[in-house]
Amino acid sequence: MTDTQTEIAAMSFEEAMKALEQVVNQLERGEVPLDQSIALYECGAALKARCAELLKAAEERVEKITLGEGGKPAGTVPVEGL
């Protein structure tokens, strides 16, 4: 794993989204050389994958919330236990 991959793997959803937005902005401006554009694109793909991973984990946690009487949340079911 490269340093960049390690950094991305440690990012929160918000950090990864902010970094992805910065990459997209740089690519949209078109002011970077081709080699750098390719590296930015690869970084953007890794950031997108990190965001998708974190979003999926959050969705799974939300889906596991159990409801009690009247539809009020009564607790959660651990994702690992299913």
Taking the model in full, what pTM does it have? 0.76
The ranges assigned to domains in the chain are 3-81
Confidence band, pLDDT 50/70/90 cuts, at residue 4: confident
pLDDT digits (tens, 9 = 90+) for 21-56: 999 999 999 999 999 999 999 999 999 999 999 999
Confidence band, pLDDT 50/70/90 cuts, at residue 82: very low
CA 28 from centroid of its chain's CA atoms: 21
Question: How far is Cα 1 from Cα 41, in angstroms, rounded to an integer?
Answer: 18
Residue 10 CB contacts under 8 Å (≥ 6 apart), including other chains = none
